[in-house]
Chain A
Amino acid sequence: MADKVKEKAVVIRQEEISLDIYSMWIETKAAQSAKPGQFVALYCKDGSRMLPRPISICEIDKAKGRLRLVYRVVGKGTKEFSQCHAGAGLELMGPLGNGFPMEAAKGKKALIIGGGIGVPPMLELAKQLEAEEKNIVCGYRDLLFLDNELKENGSLYVATEDGSVGTKGTVLDAIKENNITADILFACGPMPMLRALKAYAEENHMEAYISLEEKMACGIGACLGCVCKTKEKDAHTNVNNARICKEGPVFDAEEVDLS
C-alpha cells in the first residue's frame, strides 16, 4: 500500500472566502504524506454523480493531520461540498499526483504564480519552498482571496482583469510592470496563462514548472481520461501523452505541448 488513502475525511470548518470560493479544513490521513502541488479526489454523496472531483491542496497541517482545500463552486458536485458543515464526513482519496519539485528552487530566485482558482495550491508551495528569493504574482478577475496568507510567505504582486487592485491585466503584465526577474517559476492557473508563461520562461531561459488540470475519472492513472500532450514519448503510455493525475499535475513546461 502506497501513501494514498481512501477514507472518510471529517470537515473541521468551512467558509466562503470570496464569491463562490470556499475554504474547507478537513481532517484526513492524507495530510501525513501530502506535498505542495498534489491534489485530492473528493466524492459526492449523491450517487448520481459518480466521478470524484480533483481539488488542489491549499495548505497542509501535518501536526493536526489536516488539509485545507480552497475551491470554486462550479457545479452540483462542488455545490454539495460547499454545504458540508463542521463534523460532516466526506469521502476522499489522496494525496494524488506528483507535486512541485521543491529541491529545484534551492539557492535560486523563485517566482510563484497563481491565476484564479489556480492560486490555492501556490500557498502551501510558498510556505514550504526554500529559495534565495520568493516573489509571488497572483492574477484575479476582480475579488482577491488568500492574498493575506500569501503575503506572509513572499513578496506578493497582484494583477486584476478590471484593474481594481494591482496591475490591470494579466500576471505577465504584473511581472513586467514590477520588473520581477527569476531563475525558476512555478505556476498554476488557466490554460492561456500557462501557455503564456511557458513561452515567457523559454524566452528568458528560466526553468518552469506548471500545474495542469483536466477532466478526470479515476484520478490514479488507470483510465487515461486526463492526459496532456508531451514533447517526448512518455515512459508509461509509450505515446506522446502523459497522465495528468499520475505523472502530473505538475510538469516541467519544456516537456509538455500546450498548443
Chain B
Amino acid sequence: MNTSVNLAGVTLKNPVMTASGTFGSGAEYGEFVDLNQLGAVVTKGVANVPWQGNPTPRIAEVTGGMLNAIGLQNPGIDVFLERDIPFLKQYDTKIIVNVCGKTTEDYCQVVEKLADTEVDLLEINISCPNVKEGGIAFGQNPKSVEAITKEVKKCAKQPIIMKLSPNVTDITEMAKAAEAGGADVLSLINTLTGMKIDVERQCFAIANKTGGLSGPAVKPVAVRMVYQVANAVKVPIIGMGGICNAEDAMEFILAGATAVSIGTANFSNPYATVEVAKGIEDYMRRHQVADINSLIGLVK
C-alpha cells in the first residue's frame, strides 16, 4: 500500500501534516505523538524579527470550533534557525516553514535565511486575518497575490506553498494568481474572519475584536474551496479546515487535495495527527486502494 504523496518534488511518507500555528515547531506535541509518523510538520509562522503578537484574550471557543487572534507572535527567524530546525531535523519527517511578514522585503529576508537550511518547503502566509499589516493584505487581491508570489519565488531555494485566505469573493482567482506568480503548491484554507460577543460582560470575547474561525464549523466551506481550486489550477493542493479524523481528511483528498493539515483538532485531541494517518490506511484497506494518489480528486 502506498501512502506517500509528492509536493513539488518533495516526497511525504503520508499526506498528513500539521496546520501552521497549532503545533508550534513540534516540541510540545512531540511529547504525545511520534513526529516520525507525520508526512510533514508545518511550523508556526516566523518573521524576519520577533513579533509580540496581540493582547489577550486571544482565544474564544465557539460551537464546533474556535476563534483565535494570536497575531503571529513569533521569536524571529534567527532564534528559529538555531533552535527549531535542529529540533525537527532529529525526526524522519519533512519540514515546512510557514513564513510571515509585513512587507515583501520581510518575507524575502526570511526566505533567504532559510535558503541554505535543510527545510523542505516554504509556506508563505498571505492570509492571516489577525494582523493589520502584511498577512491578509497580500492575499485578497489577485494582483498582489501574483506580485508577492513572484518576488518570494525569486529569492526562494525551496519550492513555495502559497497559503490562501477564504475571506475573498472567489478563491479560484487568488489560486490562479498564485499559480501565475510561480507558486509550486497551494494550501487552503486559512481561518475565516469571525467575531464573538460576551453578552454577560457586553464586550468582545477576543481583545482583537475579530479572530480567525477554525475547527469543524469551517470544514464544509474548506472542502468546497479545495474542490473549486483543484478544478482551477494544476499545482498540488494542501487541504485543511476542521479535519478531526480520517473521514474528514478523505473528504479533502477526494475533493482534490494531495495532502491535508490537522490544526484545531490537535487541541481537542493531541493524538489527532497520527490517528488521521492511521485512519487513512484503514480507509485504503477498507476500499482496497493500493495507492493514495488514485484517490486525489476522485470525486468530480
A residues contacting B by CB (< 8 A) are 1-2, 4, 6, 43, 47-52, 77, 93, 214-228, 236-241, 246
Which of these, B76, B215, B270, contacts A50 with CB under 8 Å? Answer: B215
> Does chain A have a CB within 8 A of B6?
no
Task: Report the minimum CB–CB distance from B243 to chain A (whole Å).
Answer: 13
Which of these, B57, B60, B76, B270, contacts A238 with CB under 8 Å? Answer: B76
Smallest CB gap from A214: residue in B? B56
Establish whether residues B64 and A48, one from each chain, have CB atoms under 8 Å apart when the complex forms: yes
- Given A224-B53, A225-B70, A238-B79, A215-B58 contact (CB < 8 Å): yes
Bitwise, B1-35 to A at CB < 8 A (1) or not (0) is 00000000000000000000111100011011000
Which of these, B21, B63, B75, B268, contacts A223 with CB under 8 Å? Answer: B21
Q: List 30 A-B contacts (CB under 8 A).
A: A1-B31, A6-B32, A6-B270, A6-B271, A47-B64, A47-B268, A50-B268, A51-B61, A51-B66, A77-B61, A214-B57, A215-B57, A216-B59, A217-B66, A217-B68, A217-B267, A218-B267, A219-B267, A220-B31, A220-B270, A222-B28, A222-B266, A224-B58, A224-B70, A225-B59, A227-B58, A236-B75, A237-B73, A238-B76, A241-B52
Q: List, in ascending order, chain B residues with CB within 8 A of A218's CB.
A: 22, 28, 266-267, 270
The interface size of chain B toward A, counting residues with CB under 8 Å, comes to: 38
Q: Cα distance A48–B217 when bound, in Å?
A: 9
Q: List, in ascending order, chain A residues with CB within 8 A of B283's CB.
A: none
Establish whether residues A225 and B58, one from each chain, have CB atoms under 8 Å apart when the complex forms: yes
Q: Cα distance A93–B265 when bound, in Å?
A: 15
B residues contacting A by CB (< 8 A) are 21-24, 28-29, 31-32, 44, 50-53, 56-61, 63-66, 68, 70, 73, 75-76, 79, 215-216, 264-268, 270-271
If over half of B's interface residues share one DSSP class (helix, strand or loop), that class is named, otherwise mixed; here it is loop
Task: Report the minimum CB–CB distance from A108 to chain B (whole Å).
Answer: 32
Establish whether residues A241 and B73, one from each chain, have CB atoms under 8 Å apart when the complex forms: yes
Q: Cα distance A49–B56 when bound, in Å?
A: 21
Establish whether residues A50 and B267, one from each chain, have CB atoms under 8 Å apart when the complex forms: yes
Establish whether residues A227 and B56, one from each chain, have CB atoms under 8 Å apart when the complex forms: yes
Q: Cα distance A50–B61 when bound, in Å?
A: 7
Establish whether residues B56 and A220, one from each chain, have CB atoms under 8 Å apart when the complex forms: no
Q: Cα distance A225–B144 when bound, in Å?
A: 30
Q: List, in ascending order, chain B residues with CB within 8 A of A214's CB.
A: 56-57
Task: Report the minimum CB–CB distance from A224 to chain B (whole Å).
Answer: 5
Which of these, A43, A222, A226, contacts B59 with CB under 8 Å? Answer: A226
Smallest CB gap from A233: residue in B? B50
Which of these, A4, A77, A215, A222, contacts B24 with CB under 8 Å? Answer: A222
Q: List, in ascending order, chain A residues with CB within 8 A of B58's CB.
A: 215, 224-227
Q: List, in ascending order, chain B residues with CB within 8 A of A225's CB.
A: 56, 58-59, 68, 70
Q: List, in ascending order, chain A residues with CB within 8 A of B216's CB.
A: 47, 50
